[in-house]
Structures are given as structure tokens and as C-alpha cells.
Amino acid sequence: MSNIVEPLVLQIAARVRTERESRRWTLATLAEVSGVSQAMISRIERGESSPTAVVLGKLSAAFQLSVSSLLALAESTRDDAPPAAGVRRGADAEQWRDPGTGYRRRQITGRHFPAEIAEIRLPPGARVPYPAAAFAFVRQVVWVIDGHLTFHEGDTVHELGEGDTIELGEPTTRVFANTGDAECRYVVVLARGARP
């Protein structure tokens, strides 16, 4: 595990445990609600395993958070986190890397900014599915910067190229796939909607 990823894995571990405990859920409850095995959740919470994007999608859906929100909350637990406002140097930014696909994500905005903005780098051949619940209570726009993104929104497939955007509608299962032979870089802009 690289030095860039390791601290974030520990932050994700702490955030998943905090989210679970704040709901007074046992490991068994979270496993049942998320569809992630109790053993895997335990390894994640102990920082022994870096979750894949798919697992993070299932956990965030169980918590009624977006993956972006879950990761942003994890990143904000650092003692040396950058201030809510000000310059954030690209060279200092942490990236989370999905150990399963090589998908990389970098949070652009701080946790107090009214919209969450993240840069994603999806390698060729990578496919990342998320359950509908991961998109509940959020409004989201995906903006392709470089490459080609095949985006599945339920049964509808959108082929997106450089400069294309898609504003996501009602929550449904979604798949981000790079069917090209070059990396796809896109930006996700997320605004939180009303909660029940």
C-alpha cells in the first residue's frame, strides 16, 4: 500500500465505524442492510482492508450517503486537513484508489463547501457499479474531462465523450465504465437534497 493511500484507508475505517456506531448498529446490522459481509466490514473498520468502490457504494447506500460524501467525511477526519476555505495544492491532495479496479478519486472541495466536487480517473476496462440507494437525497452532475465514459443509468446507456455532461435524475442503479483504451477522467459535482 502506498504512503498516499494508507492514511486514507485508516480514515475510511474510522468513518465507517463512526457512521455505524452513530446509528447504534452492530456489525451484523450493517452487514444485513448493506449486503457486505460482516467479516469484510470488520476488516475495513480495523484498517486491514481497503474497500473497493463497489463495497463503498453498498456501505454508503446503507448509511444514506453518497460515496463522495462518505469519502469526504473520511478525509475531513485528518488532524492536518486543509481549512474549509483557501488554497488546496494539487500536489498535497490525497487520492483514494480502488484496489479492485484502479479507479482513483480526489476530493476537490472541502467538507464545508455547499457542493461536493471530486475528480475521478477510471482506467481502461474498469467498471464500477453502484446501487440506487447510493444516490438517494443527492443531485449529481458528471462531466467528462478526458476520454470516454459508458454510463449506465438503470436500463439506459449513455456514451459520454470529452466535454459531455449528464445530470442524474431519480436514484437508480448506475454503472461507470471505461470501455475505451485510454484513461477516462471525469468530475462529479454533487449537491445534497432533502432528507426524510
Instruction: Identify the structural domains of the chain with CATH numbers, from first to last.
Output: 5-75 (1.10.260.40), 94-192 (2.60.120.10)
Q: Residue 9 belongs to what H/E stretch?
A: helix 5-22
Other beta carbons within 10 angstroms of residue 68's beta carbon come to: 23
Q: What is the pTM of this model?
A: 0.75
Measured CA to CA, the distance from residue 88 to residue 172 in angstroms comes to 33
Please write the tens of the pLDDT for every residue from 80-102.
444 556 777 877 777 888 888 99
Please write the tens of the pLDDT for every residue from 105-122.
888 887 777 888 899 999
Measured CA to CA, the distance from residue 57 to residue 105 in angstroms comes to 14
